[in-house]
A and B are shown apart, each in its own frame.
Chain A
Amino acid sequence: MKYSALALLKGALGANRNWPRQWRAAVPKPAYDAIIVGGGGHGLATAYYLAREHGLTNVAVVEKGWIGGGNVGRNTTIVRSNYLLPENSRFYELGMKLWEGLSKDLNYNVMFSQRGVLNLAHTPSQLDGFARRGNAMRLEGIDAELLDRDAVGDFVPHLDMSPAARFPIVGGLLQPRGGTARHDAVAWGYARAADALGVDIIENAPVTGFLREGERIVGVVTPRGEIRAAKVGLAVAGSTSEVMRLAGVEDLPIESHVLQAFVSEPLKPIIHTVVTFGAGHLYISQSDKGGLVFGGDIDGYNSYAQRGGLAVVRDVASLAVTMFPNLKRVRVLRNWGGIMDMSMDGSPIITKGPLPGLYLNAGWCYGGFKATPASGFCFAHTIARDEPHPENAAFTLDRFERGLVLDERGAGPVPQHH
């Protein structure tokens, strides 16, 4: 069924009782041309682009739990392409362009809102760094505006702009085309669109092992049976190390860490853009329902628990109030955590291998939601053509041993980059 204004009207007249399922509850077939393990944003987008761009429709997405239960439904929904290194800029800008047409492509309102992403600078040297990054972006044809102190104050009225602030604001870097999207809608939209093209979405089917012929991976083992495929792509985010272990691959350049997110009680419109604090780590925006959506750093120690500690809650709350003193009495409605696949240089891996028949998509750190369309697009290309798309050619697994790491911050091999 095609969604349209007319369909909405009909739905409303039927008291919204007659909407069809958005995707079939598929029963696994014995074999497919390709299997994608992990029904998060990246896995679903990959399946969609395999079908749409490469005509590969005999594809299954095999998901441990339910669609939207992983990080794709847990993130703070920020979308941007404000990177310094050309490899990252180009990849995330490909993503930005896909975001701009996504609701139409999927016939699903993903509520992509280009409300701007503003990074605050608190020292002149930080602002110089932002000027450099902004210039690098503009050289790649990406929008970037350097704002001085007054322009920041005009753009975000409730910020504490006083020169006596503990970390006075001296300016900022704005990407006007950045913004937010409704994360659940992205998962559901890709699932529905992939299903419509013939992809089987198989939920409640954790992969517990791999089928092998010698070195080659030829399928997966699940409680719902063995499923064979010539190509198996992995997009399991925080579970990457554990699932790869099942294939006998140990010691990836990845650690799993918990990142928390917070939502406040609903408020009247107060923050119309996305703002990030530059003298600590906090990012905040307001959802269309009025809740402030915000988050900060990972808790900082290896974790597979989808919940975090109070230290970060305290840290994030104090930073929010430092930026916006008028939020002092706002109550937090909910908070939760998701398990991040933190790569050792802060950049992702989208590659063929490391075993024949296997393809790997991982290492998204804090920032994989914005990558969803580009990640799916490039991973599908890599799987279908057995070679990378130009925009993911640098995201190899062997870049670490070849000295070709993509370390945006120049901060060395630590699993804490964002």
Chain B
Amino acid sequence: MLIPCPHCGPRESDEFTYIGDAERTPPALDAPEAVWTRYVFARRNPMGRHREYWQHTGCRAVLAVTRNTLTHEVEGCEIVGPHAATAAGAGE
């Protein structure tokens, strides 16, 4: 399985650390307990397209990868976090 790191190009998946499901967004700190429970424990866990976080050990970038969990086809890969904006041109 190859993951196309925007900085480093396509690299073997074991160069990356899997962080997990990127489909969840943290609720507000004062959100009801049920909302927090869902955020902490519940997963959509789809067979098929899944958005997930990986970190590239090479360049340390945290990436949001869109991947098919059945075929392992990677559809997209983008840099997230504080560097996302400045990284837009990183591949050029």
Contact = CB atoms under 8 A, between A and B. Distances in A.
Are A and B subunits of one complex? yes
- Please indicate which of the listed interface residues B47, B54, B70 has the most CB atoms of chain A within 10 Å of its own CB: B47
Contacts of B47: 239, 241-242, 256, 304
Nearest to A250: B44
Interface in B37-84: 37-38, 40-47, 50, 52, 54, 67, 69-72
Interface residues of A, number: 25
Given A241-B45, A252-B45, A302 B40 contact: no
Contact of B18 (A251, A300, A304, A344): A300
Contact of A401 (B18, B37, B43, B50): B37
A80 B46 CA distance: 32
A255 B23 CA distance: 13
A415 interface: yes
Contacts of B1: 309
A300 B42 CA distance: 18
Contact of B42 (A239, A251, A304, A310): A251
Given A241-B46, A251-B42, A255-B45, A302 B21 contact: yes
B33 interface: yes
A250 B44 CA distance: 6
Nearest to A341: B45
B14 A302 contact: no
B34 interface: yes
A317 B33 CA distance: 45
Contacts of A311: 13-14
A254 B45 contact: yes
B35 to A, nearest CB: 11
Interface string B14-31: 100010110000000000
A96 to B, nearest CB: 29
A413 interface: yes
A254 B44 CA distance: 8
Contacts of B54: 301
A300 to B, nearest CB: 5
Contacts of A335: none
A93 B82 CA distance: 50
- Please indicate which of the listed interface residues B38, B45, B54, B70 has the most CB atoms of chain A within 10 Å of its own CB: B45
Given A309-B1, A309-B13, A309-B14, A303 B69 contact: yes
A36 B52 CA distance: 33
Contacts of A19: none
Given A302-B52, A303-B72, A309-B13, A255 B37 contact: no
B45 A301 contact: no
A330 interface: no
Given A311-B13, A401-B34, A304 B69 contact: yes
A400 B69 contact: no
25 contacts: A241-B44, A241-B45, A241-B46, A242-B45, A250-B44, A251-B43, A251-B44, A252-B42, A252-B45, A253-B42, A255-B45, A256-B45, A256-B47, A256-B69, A301-B13, A301-B18, A301-B54, A302-B50, A302-B52, A304-B69, A305-B69, A311-B14, A344-B43, A401-B33, A413-B40
5 A-B pairs closest in CB distance = A311-B14, A251-B42, A241-B45, A253-B41, A401-B37
Given A255-B21, A300-B18, A303-B69, 19 more contacts: A241-B43, A241-B45, A241-B47, A242-B47, A250-B42, A250-B44, A253-B41, A256-B69, A301-B52, A304-B47, A305-B72, A309-B14, A311-B13, A344-B43, A400-B37, A401-B34, A413-B41, A414-B20, A415-B43
